[in-house]
A and B are shown apart, each in its own frame.
Chain A
Amino acid sequence: MERRFRILRFNPLYDVKPHYQEYRIKVQPLWSVLDCLNEIKWKLDGSLSYRRSCTHGVCGSDAMMINGRNRLACQTLVRDLKYTRVIRIEPLKSFPVIKDLYVDTEEFFERNLAVKPWFVNQTPPPERERLQSPKERQKIDGPTKCILCASCTSSCPTFWFDKAYLGPAALLKAHRFIFDSRDEAQAERLAILNDRTGPYKCHTIFNCVETCPKEINVTGAISDLKKKILWSKIRRKEKKTEGG
């Protein structure tokens, strides 16, 4: 079967602004959008640029806007876009475009650094593993699935208008450590988040949940963080009053 692809292209050397280019190719229903892009690149137009690597939704390279929604190209099958004869492909929204579907993710990754995205435990470890119950482990199951594809942050209206907002992906990273029973830097991280850039900015619009290719409940995680901050404040207050 044939499909038309309208791809938003931009080459900083020649273009003042992005423009659509259309390609027609024969596709198979089980092809992913990445297979289609490869077909276009390899057979029609080698100058089309996009990131890709694993081809099955684990590396997070090929997040892009497909028919108006952020998805991983390799995880979206032509079959599942069956009601559209024209498939529209654009780079991730609200990220600076370098060329075609290549966006600049430097800022996105720097944002993550704000939440100290690494495990902290200063207590000398036991000889064997630290213990963690399956229930405790389950709490961070969602957040540890994140492949840093940036789909969520790119789809978040709050982030579009306020670039100081940490954004869903960075907050999810914070959640991954704050709710890990073995991590010791909870208080420090919560203090960082209790800021106007943190979870309070989230207006629970759920775009992130809808778009996440790993089906992570990102908004839920952000709500968990809000509650946690609130509780930690109350507890601090209680301690203060107890102390006198």
Chain B
Amino acid sequence: MSLSSPFPVHRHDVLILGAGGAGLRAALEIGEAADVAVISKVFPTRSHTGAAQGGVAAAIGNVDEDSWEHHMFDTVKGGDYLGDQDAIEVLCREAPETVYELEHMGVPFSRLEDGRISQRAFGGHSAVRACHAADRTGHVILQTLYEHCLRKKVRFYQEFFVISLIKEDGRIQGLAAWDILKGGIHVFHAKAVLLATGGYGRTYKTTSNALANTGDGMAMAYEAGVPLEDMEFVQFHPTGIYKMGILITEAARGEGGILINRNGERFMERYAPSMKDIAPRDVVSRAIYTEIRNRMGIDGKDYVYLDLRHLGKKKILEKLPEIHSFVQTYLGIDAVREPVPVQPTCHYAMGGIPTDVNGRVVVDDKETLFPGLYAAGECACVSVHGANRLGCNSLLDILVFGKRAGEKIIEEIRGIGVSEPSDKTAQEVRLRVEDLLEGSGNETAVGIRERLQEMMMVRCSVFRNEKLLKEAESELKKLKLRYAAVQIMDHGRICNTDLLEALELGSLLSLAETIVAGALARTESRGSHFREDFPVRDDAGFLKHTLARKGPEGPLVSYKPVRITRYQPMERTY
């Protein structure tokens, strides 16, 4: 404990916020080169990377002839030309070595008969490219990374909830966190902080994301003055289990599953004549909603069927065992014999904290750095996914850029002294927490959160227009006012998850604001962002990234150019 501080103080060279794939990969890279600590609100292996099912993309050509250039082109096109091509080149070039490295670390990939890594088809990829471990790919990758962190004796602060970054003298110098199990604020000092906090799917009512996916890291960066990039691009995955949102991996269609409407028609043939059911997610989700709007959902309701029956029992149990069991558990349906009711579910954040290809946070079109702050994984926007991410490219992204961020941090902290920031931020955080613990407002977090999630689902999901977005904007203002009067029921300090949920709601509200602002300003349709009132892509006006910076009255929107190196924008058909 520091003498001058009323809070326990911890000092490390590097702090990594988040123990998912991105955070752990970075931690491994830093390993013994510096004193690194990882902070996570959940036990590391409970991070949502463990939920990734389908696979990790790499042009290793074990099944099809393939090359990184093809992978790159598919990714550029999949992202509707909004991705930065220099970054996409890095992603796809480094993919094969990334997968081999995982294998060398012991990841138990599924195998082909000859013993090489098995690959399968995935949406928007023109070759068979998804390296997988049955439908538990994220789980085995996360376990393996964590195990190697144990071997390297990486320091973990697990079940610590980070509330705020500490910014002093124009530089990020640490963070303030709440000890979940014991209660109390801790201060962490460091030369560099890497945000690896994952996505914000819980902004929406129907989602494949964990309850912990509330985008805290993005919100913290936003509060610290970092603009968020391309937040209006929110991916809805076509196949969530009806009403629950639990994901059915695209691999189900990669392995041959098809979508059918109430007439039993394979409707994707009409929307994407060549790729059909494995067209990119934005295309398939829009198609499903269009069917539903035309009363072609099952029984005229808001879902369609995913039909796996023709794959046969053996293939389903071998390639999609987890899916088979989810459907059995949650719907009581045997996917071998019955079709599965599905509807689009909020799945992935293409936008986030802007970084360069080395994980350094950059705040404007001149690539000005934000000293001391780095980001990687789903919370970051490099941008490799542009306006729509292809399946299996996220696991790849978190590994490639988690590693690169780690390398860069080692290089950059050399010569930097240990920081000794003041208590100011921690004191502010303490006031905020005490206020929640002791406050006497008349609003509940759950009331506001449920309203937010429903409202975002109706007004700002797959189909958007000015009227809906304007309504969302004004409703968000009201919700923020209500949030100021939020009252929690648990006034204790130990394992107070009521407090955490109230803090997480603050993150969701800030992020919703940036999503809506970006969506309103972008009067075109591109990738996952579809404006009914502006249904076509407008390259002259909008081939550029959105930046939403926190202003006194709400987000201030500006833009920065897209980096195009190899592939000029073309019409996007599948």
Query: Which A residues contact B (CB, under 8 angstroms)?
Result: 11-13, 30, 32, 41-43, 45-47, 49-61, 75, 77, 79, 98-100, 102, 105, 109, 113, 116-119, 121, 125, 127-134, 136-137, 140-141, 144-145, 147-148, 177, 180, 182-183, 215
Nearest-neighbour CB distance to chain B for A34, whole angstroms, equals 9
Query: Which B residues contact A (CB, under 8 angstroms)?
Result: 42-43, 45-48, 50-51, 60, 99-100, 103-106, 108-117, 133-134, 136, 139-140, 143-144, 147-148, 150-151, 181, 210-212, 243-244, 246, 322, 325-326, 329-332, 444, 446, 488-492, 494-498
Nearest-neighbour CB distance to chain A for B115, whole angstroms, equals 3
Q: Name B489's closest neighbour in chain A (CB-CB).
A: A46
Docked-complex contact A180 and B108, CB < 8 angstroms: yes
Nearest-neighbour CB distance to chain A for B63, whole angstroms, equals 13
Docked-complex contact B492 and A13, CB < 8 angstroms: yes
Docked-complex contact A49 and B496, CB < 8 angstroms: yes
Docked-complex contact A60 and B45, CB < 8 angstroms: yes
Docked-complex contact A47 and B330, CB < 8 angstroms: no
Give Cα distance in the complex from A179 to B446, angstroms. 47
Contact of B150 among A32, A99, A113 (CB under 8 A): A113
Q: 24 A–B contact pairs at CB < 8 A?
A: A46-B490, A47-B489, A49-B494, A49-B495, A49-B497, A53-B48, A53-B210, A54-B210, A58-B139, A59-B51, A61-B42, A99-B495, A105-B43, A127-B100, A128-B116, A129-B117, A134-B112, A137-B108, A144-B140, A145-B136, A147-B45, A177-B106, A180-B106, A180-B108
User: Could you say which residues of chain B place their CB within 8 Å of the CB of A41?
Assistant: 497-498
Give Cα distance in the complex from A54 to B290, angstroms. 29
User: Could you say which residues of chain B place their CB within 8 Å of the CB of A47?
Assistant: 489-492, 498
Nearest-neighbour CB distance to chain A for B408, whole angstroms, equals 25
Q: Name A100's closest neighbour in chain B (CB-CB).
A: B495
Docked-complex contact A128 and B60, CB < 8 angstroms: yes
Docked-complex contact B494 and A13, CB < 8 angstroms: yes
Docked-complex contact A118 and B150, CB < 8 angstroms: yes
Docked-complex contact B494 and A131, CB < 8 angstroms: no
Docked-complex contact B116 and A129, CB < 8 angstroms: yes
Give Cα distance in the complex from A59 to B325, angstroms. 15
Give Cα distance in the complex from A107 to B1, angstroms. 25
Docked-complex contact B46 and A53, CB < 8 angstroms: yes
Nearest-neighbour CB distance to chain A for B42, whole angstroms, equals 5
A130 touching B103 in the complex, CB below 8 Å, given contacts A56-B326, A77-B329, A119-B147: yes
- Count: A-B pairs, CB below 8 Å: 157
Q: Name B491's closest neighbour in chain A (CB-CB).
A: A47
Nearest-neighbour CB distance to chain A for B79, whole angstroms, equals 27
Nearest-neighbour CB distance to chain B for A123, whole angstroms, equals 10
Docked-complex contact B48 and A59, CB < 8 angstroms: yes
Nearest-neighbour CB distance to chain B for A103, whole angstroms, equals 10
A61 touching B114 in the complex, CB below 8 Å, given contacts A75-B329, A113-B150, A119-B147: no
Give Cα distance in the complex from A117 to B69, angstroms. 38
User: Could you say which residues of chain A place their CB within 8 Å of the CB of B494?
Assistant: 11-13, 49, 98-99
Q: Name B246's closest neighbour in chain A (CB-CB).
A: A56
Docked-complex contact A11 and B150, CB < 8 angstroms: no
Docked-complex contact A42 and B446, CB < 8 angstroms: yes
Nearest-neighbour CB distance to chain B for A235, whole angstroms, equals 25
Q: Name B245's closest neighbour in chain A (CB-CB).
A: A55
Docked-complex contact A140 and B108, CB < 8 angstroms: yes
Give Cα distance in the complex from A153 to B51, angstroms. 23
User: Could you say which residues of chain B place their CB within 8 Å of the CB of A145?
Assistant: 136, 139
Docked-complex contact B106 and A182, CB < 8 angstroms: yes
Nearest-neighbour CB distance to chain B for A141, whole angstroms, equals 8
Give Cα distance in the complex from A99 to B493, angstroms. 11
Docked-complex contact B143 and A58, CB < 8 angstroms: no
A11 touching B42 in the complex, CB below 8 Å, given contacts A52-B211, A58-B139, A121-B106: no
Q: Name A134's closest neighbour in chain B (CB-CB).
A: B111
User: Could you say which residues of chain B place their CB within 8 Å of the CB of A79?
Assistant: 332
User: Could you say which residues of chain A place their CB within 8 Å of the CB of B50?
Assistant: 54, 58-59, 147
Highest count of chain B CB atoms <10 Å: which of A56, A109, A180: A56
Q: Contacts A50-B497, A53-B42, A118-B151 known; list 15 others, CB within 8 Å.
A: A42-B444, A43-B446, A45-B489, A46-B488, A52-B211, A56-B51, A56-B246, A61-B46, A100-B495, A118-B147, A129-B104, A130-B104, A134-B110, A141-B108, A180-B106
Give Cα distance in the complex from A37 to B444, angstroms. 17
Give Cα distance in the complex from A222 to B45, angstroms. 23
Contact of A132 among B111, B140, B329 (CB under 8 A): B111
Q: Name A43's closest neighbour in chain B (CB-CB).
A: B446
Docked-complex contact A61 and B43, CB < 8 angstroms: yes
